[in-house]
Structure 1
Amino acid sequence: MEATKWSTALGAAGLALAAVTATAAAPAVAQGQASHVRLAGRVVLTNMDNGRTVAASSGGDVEIRLTHSRERGFTYTWTAPESGDSAVLGHRSDATNPAGDATAVFHAASGGVATISAQRRCVPDPGSLCPLIVGTWKVTIEVK
């Protein structure tokens, strides 16, 4: 009987936590907010920001965090992101890891518009062949 009480209490607590989490997340989705995040003068962009135009403040940083994906026996990896105009978005750092993730930080040096892009490539499992498709992740940054 005691075990049943604990099980019921834990189940109810889990449901309450799930309800609170869903309620807290709902306003952001309902309002259609962008997936990028602003952290103390830094704009952080992810896979979800592909194709967006994002504002950044001059003197701030733009950080890119791209994560690999795995689909039907293929791993899709990222190249290091690059700026299309280093006078507007100067390169600070970049890194890729063996799993296929890529990160980069750019400094918003002056007002203007620049793009940041990276390529997504297929890495097959042994004995498989990848489709001959290279995807491009691209974001336009408006520095003011």
Structure 2
Amino acid sequence: MVGTKWSGASWSMAPALVTVMAVAAAPAAAHVRAPDRDRLAQRIVLTNADNGRSATASPGDDVEVRLTGHRENGLTWTWSTPASGDSTVLRRTAGRTAPNGDASATFHAEHAGTTTITAQRHCRPSAGHLCPLVITPWKVTVEVK
């Protein structure tokens, strides 16, 4: 506040001015970056074909899961919303299922560690059809390092 003149201004405006100046000064400190944060975040996409595989991510990366359901002979094979085994390593930021059996989710790599992403596929019958009692698991192991 060096060099600020208050001529013509009432003292009741001074606290507001100080608050605004403090908020305006905060972003300058946000530009200080750690050396390992200079890389761009990556997006890793996993699909039905990745079941049983492993993937590697870095903190800050996003892992997207896109599982495709299918319909045949009056049966719709639907996926559950993919879930992380450890949300401190991979935090889910979005997830959904669709009427056609598809499911998707996006996870943000938070910290170093290893966890799994899992989902289950099950049958939903149309009228007049019966489903087999089968649940198919889907699992990918993700190491964040």
CA RMSD of aligned residues (A): 1.0
Higher fraction of helix: 1
- Asked if 1 retains the 8 angstrom alpha-carbon contact of 2:65 and 2:104, the reply is yes
- The residue number in structure 1 matching 2:79 is 78
Q: By how many angstroms is 1:79 displaced? A: 0.6
Deviations 1:25-46 (A, max 9, x none): xxxxxxxxxxxxxxx6010000
Partner SS for 1:48: helix
- The residue number in structure 1 matching 2:42 is 41
- Asked if 1 retains the 8 angstrom alpha-carbon contact of 2:68 and 2:103, the reply is yes
- Asked if 1 retains the 8 angstrom alpha-carbon contact of 2:55 and 2:142, the reply is yes
Percent of aligned pairs sharing the same letter: 58
Partner SS for 2:52: coil
Segments of structure 1 that go 5 or more residues without pairing to the other structure are 1-39
Deviations 1:59-107 (A, max 9, x none): 1000000010123331100110000000100110101111111110000
The aligned amino acid for 1:98 is P
CA distance in 1, matches of 2:93, 2:47: 17
Partner SS for 1:86: coil
The aligned amino acid for 2:129 is S
- The residue number in structure 2 matching 1:129 is 130
- The residue number in structure 2 matching 1:105 is 106
- Asked if 1 retains the 8 angstrom alpha-carbon contact of 2:70 and 2:100, the reply is no
- The residue number in structure 2 matching 1:90 is 91
Normalising by structure 2, what TM-score?
Answer: 0.70
Task: List 4+ stretches of structure 1 deviating above 3 A.
Answer: none
Q: Looking at CA atoms only, which structure, 1 or 2, has the larger radius of gyration?
A: 2
- Asked if 1 retains the 8 angstrom alpha-carbon contact of 2:89 and 2:144, the reply is yes
The aligned amino acid for 2:141 is T
CA distance in 2, matches of 1:56, 1:127: 45
Normalising by structure 1, what TM-score?
Answer: 0.70
CA distance in 2, matches of 1:111, 1:44: 19
Q: By how many angstroms is 1:124 displaced? A: 1.1
- The residue number in structure 1 matching 2:69 is 68
Partner SS for 2:140: strand
- Asked if 1 retains the 8 angstrom alpha-carbon contact of 2:46 and 2:64, the reply is yes
For 1:6-25, what aligned pairs fall within 5 Å after superposition? Answer: none
Count of residue pairs the alignment pairs up: 105
CA distance in 1, matches of 2:59, 2:118: 20
